[in-house]
Amino acid sequence: ELAFGLSVLACTEVAEARYAEAEQVLSESIPLHQESGDTDRLAYTIAFRGYAARGLGQRAKAQSDFFQALQSAIANQGIVPLLFALPGIALLLADQGEVAWAVELYAHIAELPFVANSKMRWDLAAQHLQTVSVSLPPAVVTAAYTRGKTGDLWATASSLLIELSNQGWDKVNIFQ
């Protein structure tokens, strides 16, 4: 199916830091996923667009995309979209100085085989989060990681959605 193939291509472009190219492919893929009604594929494709937007320095657009992907993942109990949305949100949190929160959030999924065995996840988020976490005392990083690792993934995702909504992520103006 064309929409899925374009999503895979976009994911590759994002993983290789070719963000403008990814954005172009995603502009074709997202409408096809919308037409198909496949909410999981649409949600993780929107998450890819969030990574591309972040890479292009478009924070508001990245926030909006990751928020939408998280919202869809929760509404549809879609684990794959959640596994793409959470690392992106963690990156944005780290970008705004919330490094411990970012580490905690990523720890929820870091040891799942789909994530732990993925070079793409390392390239997309884990490597950057590991790099910025050295700015914190090791005990703070360990505590954040432990909280995340032992927390309930879906409860955390739901709480995160509320917190991000309270911060205005659901109302960002992507045209600023």
* pLDDT tens per residue, range 145-161: 999 999 899 999 999 99
| pTM (2 d.p.) | 0.90
For the chain, how long is the longest CA-to-CA vector?
48
* pLDDT tens per residue, range 130-146: 899 999 999 999 999 99
pLDDT at site 173: 55
**Any idea what DSSP says for residue 84?**
H
pLDDT at site 11: 87
Nearest to 47 by CA among 78, 93, 3, 82: 82
CB atoms within 10 A of CB 58: 19
Asked if the model's pLDDT at residue 175 lies above 50, the reply is no
Asked if the model's pLDDT at residue 116 lies above 80, the reply is no
In 3-state terms the chain splits into helix, strand, coil percentages (rounded to 5) of 80, 0, 20
Mean pLDDT of the residues in the chain:
90
* pLDDT tens per residue, range 54-72: 999 999 999 999 999 999 9
pLDDT at site 172: 65
* pLDDT tens per residue, range 72-101: 999 999 999 999 999 999 999 999 999 999
